[in-house]
Structure 1
Amino acid sequence: MTDTVAYRPKAGEIPTSPGVYRFRDKAGRILYVGKAKNLRARLSNYFAPLTSLHERTRRMVTTASSVEWTVVGSEFEALQLEFSWIKEFNPPFNVQFRDDKSYPYLAITLADDVPRVLVTRNRKIAGARYFGPYTKVWAIRETLDLLLRVFPMRSCSDSVYRRAEQTGRPCLLGEIGKCAAPCVGRISKEDHKSIALDYASFMAGNDSKFVADLSQRMKDAAERQDYESAAKLRDQLAAIETVLSKNTVVLPDTVDGDLFGIAHDELAAAVQQFSVRGGRIRGVRSWVVDKELDLGLPELVETVVHNAYEQGSTEAVPPRLVVVPVLPEDAAELERLLTELRSERGRSGRVTIRVARRGDLAQLSETVTRNALSALASYKTRRSGDFVARSQALSDIQEALGMTEAPLRMECYDVSHLSGTNIVASMVVFEDGLPRKDQYRRFSIPDSTDDTESIYQTLSRRLARLDDEQTVRASQEQAELEGAAPRKRFAYRPNLLIVDGGQPQVQAAARALRDAGVAPGGPDGIALCGIAKRLEEIWLPDSDFPVILPRNSDALFLFQRIRDEAHRFAIGFQRQKRSKDITSVLSEIPGLGPARVRDLLQHFGSVARLRAADAEAIAQVRGIGPATAAAVHEHLRGGE
């Protein structure tokens, strides 16, 4: 019991039935809500030895002071109760949703005596039918203007409508034929509501049926020689075709569904939702999810899909088809829950959740996922690039690492190799939270036993050229006086050195600092830390426990960005060196020129495949004969 928390219940006390559990802190606040098919099996995972838990799970368990559970009759009831409690208590360790922006919708107030169509961001108008969301306000306003020629319903405000009723004169839209003017009795309220219902039906995806009916009515009017009505119907048909041409047909017109794409890392997830109605993309929405605990993609899918239709938005009616990247564990229960939501909101039919495997639906699903990946990258870049966010990040790093001043210059190091060969290291520089690519450096490491030795060698070479600011300025001023270009240097002394790795890598870097006569940390030294990728922990020299930054902090986002940039730079150099290495080896073989070397590498796609190929496979490359193929095979195998 000493390696876990004191409030751990006895195993025999926890039932094996389905249920929902809640972790509370000392003040009684609910920290986390979860569900389980078997409460005993699920809760035992939280009370494993603390050292074996994911860091953020360990933080939640140690922050809590008690756990309680409620037994329910089925997994479906557990799912319902879990979502209900999450919505009620908003626990800090559950997934936190945050919309990037407020989206415009097209709303039709069908509950009003005289329905109105409008563009709005308010999604809580009682009795309104919503369509969207849309990414651009101007696009939906343009669509609305075109469709008012076909469905001339009221779009004015209540004050304008009342004024028209009192004066007996319609507004401008009534005069130009974009409103049937129920305000002055040109049309009855019942007939006007029929126009509103037709408008809603058209926006819901019944456009092909409406176009066919309109075309037939136009032909019938022409046959009756009612050319005035036929011309009016022709203009309405042209307006509809203009609107439809702006919405790309991506699927058969019988398909109504929502497609979700999710891109996530250890801290956040970006969600992209495409709403397809009548085979056309009618709306696009994206938002960001903050992750506190370590959740897999199936668990994220379950939470994301439910919240997409349950965040107090009564207009968000689940369609019959929901396409997701992977099926959640409780897919059947989630389908049942969404079906009930659909029924409550006046729609019939069962909701199906599936993964697109092939065809046009799979291609569109891949597009949604690519958009989610782009959104996640943009979100992280935006947070790192914002001046206020950068300032806050640097301040938080200073406080978390106990530095005397903010780390205005940070250098991050990463090592890359292929099975111990072609070992390289990278150094990337961030000043004031932004990359200084002109000061990036690459290191070739001829020989090393492991990553810690590589880190030591790299830092030793860097610190051997460590200059303080006065020396740099003096060198630059002297070069300017002599009219010569200043020698490239490492520029300024860094405030913080970051290595990609945990405690072993940090200790190797600290040893390099000490051997160079620089104190790791302190007012006269250089601060040092490492970031371990799996748990996003920050390690300090001679520390038994890592520093855990809040999962949504700007500081951790900045650490991630500089670490990822160092990794990218190291991988690029390692691949370049590998390519040059094999090229130089192949060029030593008689009969192989640059063109044939290039053909060999293009044919096999990688150095590893070329080394593993036999002479017969090599001889299949254009321009390579049996004798040359045998020479290539012997040379590469002999060089191992």
Structure 2
Amino acid sequence: MADPATYRPAPGSIPESPGVYRFRDPGGRVIYVGKAKSLRQRLNSYFADFAGLHPRTQTMLTSAASVDWTVVGTEVEALQLEYSWIKEFDPRFNVKYRDDKSYPYLAVTMGEDFPRVQVLRGAKRKGTRYFGPYSHAWAIRETVDLLLRVFPVRTCSAGVFKRAGQIGRPCLLGYIDKCSAPCVGRVTPEEHRDLAEDFCDFMAGNTTRFIKRLEREMRAAAAVEEYEKAARLRDDVQALQRALEKQTVVLGDGTDCDVIALAEDALEAAAQVFYVRGGRIRGQRGWVVDKVEETTSGDLVEQFLLQMYGEATIPREILVPAAPPDMEAVIELLSEQRGSRVDLRVPQRGDKKSLMETVERNAKESLAQHKLRRASDLTTRSRALQEIADALDLDQAPLRIECYDVSHIQGSDVVASMVVFEDGLARKSEYRRFSIKSAEGDVASIYEVICRRFKRYLEERVATGELDDESAGDGSVDEHADRGRGDSAAGMPIDPETGRPRKFAYPPNLVVVDGGPAQAAAAQRALDELGIDDVAVCGLAKRLEEVWLPGEDLPVILPRTSESLYLLQRVRDEAHRFAITYHRSKRSKTLKESALDQVPGLGPSRRQALLRHFGSVKRLRDATATEILEVPGIGPATADAIVAAFKEESA
């Protein structure tokens, strides 16, 4: 690894102008591309305080061997050059969006003499009009099947088309009037192209004129008593209406926009985009991205816009979940590429805000599915467990991991959770939750919950005869009795009454606590006092994803893309989720059983609003009527009644 000081630019040599910079490795390959309003200020931040940088940025700097830059005139030019270099060099430390699957498009090959409607994936072809993307190919085929009644455009392959022309007989679609059969000359090339143009216009959102035209023709046919023709036109109108129903109207007619949403955690993010054309959702697409460096939601949005719209069609309006850091520059760049003004904004209310929430739910589902696919891979899980063993210097892979987290609001309703992962998978039947008796901070709470859990472990070993009462009394462990215990669930002692394994009698190979060195030291102290020396302990600090071992001055930094860090993060996040769920239920119960029960007209919703505003029942009890009035939905009479109820309770 290189020392960043060896290639740091000389003081004063970096210009203060906007520009783009590149970090290169010893082989000259570009590993990171960035832009800056002031190159001097941005690059100096990399070299000023190395210890204070994010671990991922430290990794990039130690992987690099040189840095160079190019000065540009404006921020827009910086954006353009940054995008060009990222496309050219594909640097490994830059954020890269990748499709989480291949999405199908409805394509019309307008570049051919006889345009063809088909489903296409992959790179776009010149002379072909695309609609979508869609989630499933079958959704496209259903729409096309309905539209072919009105726009009987060719759908056959080149071989079938040529063969039909040679034998002078159309295929089945030609006989059932779902193809105009240009292969045998039923329509001229010009007439067939007109049909294809109408098909494209309908898919582009210009739907009203076709339906009105068919309705006029239907009424005219009925007026001259051509009832069969009128019935056929009626069915055509219904087919178009069913095709429109498959693409739900979500915004006003004429609205063309892309709606982008993100779902993210510390290591990965999922992006979803809904394509709205003519007020209808025409398709959707999803990406998953690795966070190679520390990024905000705005940074992710900016990178997404540059990568997505570098070559794609840009709509008039783009809705995003967070504003990019250089929003005006991004808008100017997109407007320049489109040739007209692009409106980029974060929706705050109304239908567009509701649609953004729908897209966000899809992004969260996409991220969850991605994590599930990654977690279900046996080879990947095995590699993750072995990487953890190597990084923490364990004798064997931690086949059973227990993780503990503490949850509270300003010291009230303190609870803790214990989650269990075996062979890299969650064992929810063995989760436990604890109501903390002492409220002296997170460190004391971790110490208490570890003591309680492993005292129970020693008690159950006594019950099964693995440990005598005298050894259990002083917290020591009988090494001889412990020697025969295996590493799988088959070695768990059985409860004679239920016939089920004694859950607390099976200790973990690794205890993970949510926190840094103080929490890890507290957990180790609890185990030491109980005489348990065969369980490893580590803490996972959330902010920088550092792994802390008890008694160590420096953390263990796991590789950003390693499966070991991914698994530890999943374990920690699950413990956090489980603790938060218990805390919320306990907090709600506490509030429900308080003096607020006596306040008339104060239902569950407004109780929750009070608790969210003040954070705890204690702070609400100390609040004045004026302070309570700040809570939405609480009027003067209710505020006075709440204050009076608490006074009666304390009297």
Give 2:556's match in structure 1, choosing from 535, 540, 547.
547
- Equivalent position SS for 2:112: coil
Letter in 2 for 1:612: D
Which residue pairs with 2:417 in the alignment?
426
Give 2:346's match in structure 1, choosing from 355, 367, 374.
355
- Equivalent position SS for 2:236: helix
- Equivalent position SS for 1:259: strand
1:163-182 aligned within 5 A: 163-182=163-182
Which residue pairs with 2:546 in the alignment?
537
Give the gaps of 5 or more residues in structure 1.
Answer: 344-348, 520-524, 587-591
**Cα deviation digits, residues 410-456 of structure 1 (max 9, x gap):** 01111223323443322211111222223222333333543223222
Following superposition, the deviation at residue 299 of structure 1 comes to 1.4
Following superposition, the deviation at residue 580 of structure 1 comes to 5.2
Following superposition, the deviation at residue 140 of structure 1 comes to 1.1
| Percent identity between the two aligned chains | 53
**Cα deviation digits, residues 231-251 of structure 1 (max 9, x gap):** 443332221111112211111
Matched, 1:451 2:454: no
Letter in 2 for 1:289: V
Which residue pairs with 1:589 in the alignment?
none
Following superposition, the deviation at residue 154 of structure 1 comes to 0.7
- Cα distance in structure 2, aligned partners of 1:108 and 1:561: 45
Following superposition, the deviation at residue 625 of structure 1 comes to 13
Matched, 1:510 2:557: no
Which residue pairs with 2:28 in the alignment?
28
Query: CA 1:459 to 1:469, structure 2 compared with 1: closer, same or farther past 3 Å?
Result: farther
Following superposition, the deviation at residue 370 of structure 1 comes to 2.6
Following superposition, the deviation at residue 4 of structure 1 comes to 6.1
- Cα distance in structure 2, aligned partners of 1:397 and 1:498: 12
Which residue pairs with 1:9 in the alignment?
9
Greater shift, 108-117 or 564-573, is seen at: 564-573
Letter in 2 for 1:329: P
- Equivalent position SS for 1:5: helix
**Cα deviation digits, residues 394-424 of structure 1 (max 9, x gap):** 2322232222221110011112233234433
Following superposition, the deviation at residue 596 of structure 1 comes to 6.6
TM-score by length of 1: 0.87
**Cα deviation digits, residues 251-270 of structure 1 (max 9, x gap):** 11111111111122221111
Following superposition, the deviation at residue 555 of structure 1 comes to 2.4
Which residue pairs with 1:346 in the alignment?
none
Letter in 1 for 2:110: L
Following superposition, the deviation at residue 305 of structure 1 comes to 1.8
- Cα distance in structure 1, aligned partners of 2:134 and 2:641: 64
- Determine if contact 1:24/1:67 at 8 Å carries over to the other structure: yes
- Cα distance in structure 2, aligned partners of 1:93 and 1:40: 21
- Determine if contact 2:135/2:283 at 8 Å carries over to the other structure: yes
- Determine if contact 1:3/1:49 at 8 Å carries over to the other structure: no
Letter in 2 for 1:332: E
1:77-156 aligned within 5 A: 77-156=77-156
- Cα distance in structure 2, aligned partners of 1:628 and 1:84: 62
**Cα deviation digits, residues 530-570 of structure 1 (max 9, x gap):** 11111111222333332233334332222122112212222
1:453-602 aligned within 5 A: 453-464=444-455, 465-466=457-458, 467=461, 468=482, 476=493, 479-480=495-496, 488-519=502-533, 525-579=534-588, 586=595
Greater shift, 260-269 or 389-398, is seen at: 389-398
- Cα distance in structure 1, aligned partners of 2:644 and 2:146: 72
Give the gaps of 5 or more residues in structure 2.
Answer: 462-481, 612-616
TM-score by length of 2: 0.86
**Cα deviation digits, residues 504-523 of structure 1 (max 9, x gap):** 2112222223333333xxxx
Matched, 1:210 2:213: no
Letter in 2 for 1:538: V
Greater shift, 394-403 or 160-169, is seen at: 394-403
Following superposition, the deviation at residue 68 of structure 1 comes to 0.5
1:309-388 aligned within 5 A: 309-310=309-310, 316-342=312-338, 349-388=340-379
Which residue pairs with 1:604 in the alignment?
607
Letter in 2 for 1:438: S
- Equivalent position SS for 1:174: helix
Query: CA 1:502 to 1:4, structure 2 compared with 1: closer, same or farther past 3 Å?
Result: farther
State the number of aligned residues.
612
- Determine if contact 2:3/2:62 at 8 Å carries over to the other structure: no
- Cα distance in structure 2, aligned partners of 1:601 and 1:568: 23
Letter in 2 for 1:543: E
- Equivalent position SS for 2:507: coil
Which residue pairs with 2:266 in the alignment?
266
**Cα deviation digits, residues 31-56 of structure 1 (max 9, x gap):** 11011121112212212211211121
- Cα distance in structure 2, aligned partners of 1:603 and 1:359: 24
- Cα distance in structure 1, aligned partners of 2:100 and 2:309: 17
- Determine if contact 1:170/1:181 at 8 Å carries over to the other structure: yes
- Determine if contact 2:104/2:136 at 8 Å carries over to the other structure: yes
- Determine if contact 2:102/2:122 at 8 Å carries over to the other structure: no
**Cα deviation digits, residues 578-636 of structure 1 (max 9, x gap):** 455566675xxxxx9x7779958764332256413458979x99999999964632645
Following superposition, the deviation at residue 125 of structure 1 comes to 2.7
**Cα deviation digits, residues 83-125 of structure 1 (max 9, x gap):** 1111111111100222111111111011111111101223333
